[in-house]
Amino acid sequence: MERRDVIEMDVENPIVSGEGLPEDPLSEKPVFLCDLCRQEIFEGDTYIHYSGDIFCSTHHLGEHLIKQGLAEERVASNRLVH
């Protein structure tokens, strides 16, 4: 007698729609704008402050530093350059 164990998984996932989130763009004013991408930074958001400039993420601070020549983006290579 052959017996098959069928593991039934509930494939339906009701938590996909994202409904029910309180979203009212008029009720919240951005505190800052990212100096690189102009993304709005709202109260309670984390942001990066670097010598008077505001950035939405460390990534954008990094891009800013590269643009300003304060940091360099290099390609890693095993070949030594003299």
**Chain positions contacting Zn ion, by CB under 5 A:** 34, 36-37, 39, 56, 60
Nearest distance in Å: CB 37, Zn ion: 3
Q: Are 37 and 55 in contact (CB under 8 A)?
A: no
DSSP state of 74: -
DSSP state of 19: T
Q: Which residues of 8-44 are buried (b: 16+ CB within 10 A; e: fewer)?
A: eeeeeeeeeeeeeeeeeeeeeeeebebbbeebebeee
Task: Report the residue number, 39 or 46, with the smaller CB distance to Zn ion.
Answer: 39
Nearest distance in Å: CB 44, Zn ion: 17
Task: Report the residue number, 31 or 37, with the smaller CB distance to Zn ion.
Answer: 37
Nearest distance in Å: CB 43, Zn ion: 17
Task: Report the residue number, 55 or 78, with the smaller CB distance to Zn ion.
Answer: 55
